Amino acid sequence: LVPLAAFDARGHRIGYGAGYYDRAIARLADKGTTPRLIGIAFDCQEVERVPEENHDVVIPEILTESGLRRFTPEL
């Protein structure tokens, strides 16, 4: 489970500012490990668009009180 402060309809998230999860997920990916990532949030945390940076990891699934939302990767 990945905590977040806000997310958008593309699966981009704003964390809590330290980049800990983005770095940890990137290290796992470098080692060939691909964990199932599920963000945990409330519906009210969805925003129109989250600004993105190169190191940001897109969360493919986010669980809210309304249910599990799945996002398709951008090509």
Residue 73's pLDDT band (cuts 50, 70, 90):
low
| Integer Cα distance of 5 and 20 in angstroms | 14
The residue extents of the domains of the chain are 2-70
Q: What is the pLDDT of residue 13?
A: 92
37: Cα within 13 Å, side-chain hemisphere:
21
Per residue in 17-63, pLDDT (tens digit) is 778 888 888 899 899 998 899 999 999 999 999 998 887 788 899 99
First to last CA, the chain: 25
- Return the CATH superfamily for domain 2-70: NagB/RpiA/CoA transferase-like (3.40.50.10420)
Q: What is the pLDDT of residue 22?
A: 84
| Integer Cα distance of 41 and 2 in angstroms | 9
Q: What does DSSP assign to residue 54?
A: T
| Exposed / middle / buried, residue 26 (Cβ in 10 Å: 0-12, 13-18, 19+) | middle
